[in-house]
Amino acid sequence: MNIEDFENFEEYLAKGLKEEASRSVREFVSSLNNEEAEEWVWEYLPKLNKNRQSRIRHELFHEVIFPVLKSGYEKEDFRSTLWLGKLSQNLYQDKSLHEKVDWVSELGFYNKAYQIEPNDEVRLLLLGSIVSWLRYTEHEWPSGILYNNNGATLEQCQEISKEVQRVLSMDKECKYSDFINQYSKKLCQYRARLQRLRGRSS
């Protein structure tokens, strides 16, 4: 592993020297063997979490980081599963990679990680991800509550209600109490609307 190539890449990138940065990152990637790649990934990712945005240079993610995380994920490794959730935006940008993990979403990775090791870090990430999804479902209110891109059915409202209950049970800090209170009222109104429509059509 030639770490100088990676350091050069970061330096060129900071200076806006795109061609030099591209050359250096390619040279760094080609200098890694499998064992070194895994070692580097687990040194690099914690720094990324603290100092950088979650988007990673394509060559690094595609050729080095994703193979390490995918291998761990297939073995139900907690760290790998958690980091696939944290880096899900990189997967969404590359369908060829996303397909290799069966199109699992950020929420799906956090769910899996929480099943493997239900610690506070993943609990809070999972909570945030569920709430983001709930916010999406209400973004066309008062027209209705969405499920995927369509109005939720009564059956889907039941699924949404389970996620609401999960937030309530996991949110030890009561961070999302106000949101859940107002969301629950909207969901209740929407379900009543659907039930009235179903009654009319029967």
Res 64: pLDDT:
95
Domain termination residue (choose one: 116, 143, 175): 116
19 bridge partner residues: none
pLDDT tens digits in sequence order for the chain, 202 residues long: 889 999 999 899 889 999 999 999 999 999 998 899 999 999 999 887 655 556 788 899 999 999 999 999 999 999 999 999 999 999 999 999 999 999 999 999 999 999 999 999 999 999 999 999 999 999 999 999 999 989 999 999 999 999 999 999 999 999 999 999 999 999 999 999 999 987 776 5
Does 142 map to a domain?
yes
Shared-domain flag, residues 146 and 193: yes
Does 24 map to a domain?
no
Does 27 map to a domain?
no
Shared-domain flag, residues 95 and 166: no
Dihedral in degrees, nearest 10, Cα atoms 24, 26, 28, 33: -170
Shared-domain flag, residues 133 and 159: yes
Domain termination residue (choose one: 100, 116, 132): 116
What range does the domain containing 59 cover? 32-116
Res 134: pLDDT:
97
Domain termination residue (choose one: 64, 92, 116): 116
Res 67: pLDDT:
96
Count of structural domains within the chain: 2
Res 170: pLDDT:
96
For residue 129, what are its two tokens?
């991800």
Distance (Å, whole) CA 154 – CA 161 = 10
Query: Do the Cβ atoms of 145 and 137 come closer than 8 Å?
Result: yes
Shared-domain flag, residues 39 and 109: yes
The H or E element spanning position 156 is helix 154-170
Shared-domain flag, residues 64 and 106: yes
